[in-house]
């Protein structure tokens, strides 16, 4: 029987987005939809090691892989205009 996935709460972003907070969002979203790390990596088309690196912000990861994971998990990234 597969291990039950405990959903994590959505993190609160208090400042600029960085790798650490983005990783927390990715992990929270993955657990909220009930996916284990192996299942989510396969679903997103990345290696388990890559998804682990994204979630823990341990090492550099190709930006296109980060975008792909976010897209597949339904995480929307938005750039706000810096002009008034």
pLDDT number for residue 31: 98
Confidence of residue 2 (pLDDT cuts 50, 70, 90): low
Query: What domains are defined for the chain?
Result: 19-73 (1.10.260.40)
Give tens-digit pLDDT for 38-60: 999 999 999 999 999 999 999 89
pLDDT at residue 74, rounded to an integer: 97
Give the residue carrying structure tokens 């930006």: 63
CA 46-51-55 angle, to 5 degrees, is: 160
């Amino acid at each position: 029987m597969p291990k039950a996935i405990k959903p994590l709460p959505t993190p609160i972003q208090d400042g600029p987005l960085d790798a650490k907070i983005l990783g927390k969002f990715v992990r929270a979203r993955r657990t909220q939809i009930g996916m284990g790390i192996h299942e989510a990596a396969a679903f997103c088309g990345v290696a388990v090691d890559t998804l682990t690196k994204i979630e823990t912000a341990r090492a550099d990861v190709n930006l296109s892989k980060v975008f792909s994971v976010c897209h597949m998990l339904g995480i929307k990234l938005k750039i706000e205009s810096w002009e008034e």
